[in-house]
Amino acid sequence: MCDHNGYAKQQPVVVADDGSRIQFTLENRTGGAHETGLRIAVLPAGKYAVAIGNRKIGAIRGGSQ
């Protein structure tokens, strides 16, 4: 659920067949600063970069968790 955000219109949501890449653009629909959470289920084992634009902000691990 995205209370203050939504997928950007006219921007693709990309999911690689093997799950190695998920890419989408969220847009802030209220204009105010806020935090947004993201939960991805059934992510294949591995380490994945998390980026905002082209700036890496962290990483997550997939697998049985």
Element (H, E) at 58: strand 55-62
Taking alpha carbons only, the member of 12, 14, 22, 26 closest to residue 46 is 22
pLDDT at residue 65 greater than cutoff 70: no
User: Any residues with CB less than 8 A from the CB of 51 and at least 6 apart, and which?
Assistant: 57
Query: Could you tell me the residue ranges of all domains in the chain?
Result: 5-62
pLDDT digits (tens, 9 = 90+) for 33-58: 888 887 888 788 888 898 888 899 99
